[in-house]
Amino acid sequence: VVANRIASDADLEAITDVLGDHEIVVVPDDPMIARADAEGLAAIDLDENAPGVRAIIAISERFAALAA
């Protein structure tokens, strides 16, 4: 399960309470992604080291490894 735009431990805890034992991968709430969207840019092009971008890259790498 991908938990998107998680802003706090309380957000993650609320999701964990509902989903129980499912693996949860977190994409943090990241103002850089919102800024990139507002500017019509890919977030990775604006700041490849932003926390949200790094989380999305990690998720894509996990999916790529599963497909290999």
Instruction: Express each pLDDT in 25-46 by its tens digit.
Output: 999 999 999 999 999 999 999 9
* For the chain, domain boundaries: 2-67
pLDDT at 68: 83
Give the C-alpha separation, 43 to 52, whole Å. Answer: 9
Give the C-alpha separation, 18 to 39, whole Å. Answer: 35
Q: Which two tokens stand for residue 50?
A: 């932003």
pTM of the model: 0.86
Mean pLDDT in the chain?
A: 96
